[in-house]
Amino acid sequence: LRCGMRSAKCQLLVTSLCVMLLGLSIATLSTVTHYGLHFTLLSDISLEDNSYRVIHHTAFYLGICLSMTLILAALLSSAATVRESQCLTAMGFFCFALAFCGLLPAACWRYTHSTEVEGSMMDVYDRVYEEVRRNLSSFRRHELTAIHKAFLCCGKHSPFGDTANIEQKTCPPGQVWDAGQDCLREIQHFLKKHLDFVSTLLAVTIAFTIYGMILTSFLWFSIHFSSNLERKGKYVLR
């Protein structure tokens, strides 16, 4: 029992360190997603009837909450390993379970709503582009120029065919439009790379969270039975 307990403690310490690093990575990714130029630009431009702004803020707060829960679970598990405390071990298990309950729906939402995020980002660009095309707002022209600079793209395929004047005024200097610089395609490509990284990070974090739950539960039972064995056969004077 003692040998298995020592092995579990070593593995739990390593797992806690990895979980803490993963929590910091999620916090960093959430901050970059919330304050990054590409996402912030589209969020500020989007109108109230577009769902992108809600998704943008929700992803940030959910990521911060998950990262804090993971870091807390790692700290409690490390303290429980050093002190061999059943209370701290139970609290560490609870934090791992709480993080798992948040990570699993987040991973499912990423696969079931990725098209919604992609569509909302493209809708923002489409609306700005069409308003500039119809000369409804001079301020929109500056916003369209900012999008072109951020995504390094220039215009889009339009069924109206009157896009040369727009691209001449809003594309970065010296940039010539071609089929590979379609902004809708560039936004889609940028979002796909970002979501692929998010998926990888979520999958690794879920795996370590499950392993942390197994180790903390094993350590709790090891501490419990070890203390019972040490007390067995002893007399208590009253």
154 domain residue, yes or no: no
111 domain residue, yes or no: yes
149 domain residue, yes or no: no
42 domain residue, yes or no: yes
163 domain residue, yes or no: no
What are the DSSP E strand ranges found in 44-177?
none
Cβ count near 161 (within 10 Å): 7
Distance CA 59, CA 76 (A): 26
Torsion of CA 112, 117, 120, 121, to 10 degrees: -150
Tell me which residue of 182, 202, 178, 179 sits closest to 190, measured CA to CA: 182
Tell me which residue of 113, 80, 117 sits closest to 221, measured CA to CA: 80
| Three-state DSSP class for residue 162 | coil
82 domain residue, yes or no: yes
172 domain residue, yes or no: no
List, for residues 175-193, the tens digit of each pLDDT value.
Answer: 555 544 688 888 999 999 9
Domain that includes residue 104, residue range: 13-121+184-229
Q: What is residue 46's DSSP assignment?
A: -
Are 34 and 44 a contacting pair, CB within 8 Å?
Answer: no
Low-confidence ranges of the chain (pLDDT < 70): 1-5, 136-137, 157-168, 172-181, 226-238
Question: In degrees rounded to 5, what are phi and psi of residue 113?
Answer: -120, 15
Place of tokens 């598990």: 77
State pTM to two decimals: 0.84
136 domain residue, yes or no: no
List, for residues 30-76, the tens digit of each pLDDT value.
Answer: 999 999 999 999 988 887 777 888 899 999 999 999 999 999 999 99
Torsion of CA 33, 119, 145, 43, to 10 degrees: -40
**How many domains, the chain?**
1
Distance CA 1, CA 128 (A): 67
Are 196 and 189 a contacting pair, CB within 8 Å?
Answer: no
Q: What is the predicted pLDDT for the residue at 159? A: 56
Distance CA 137, CA 182 (A): 22
Q: Which amino acid is at 116?
A: E
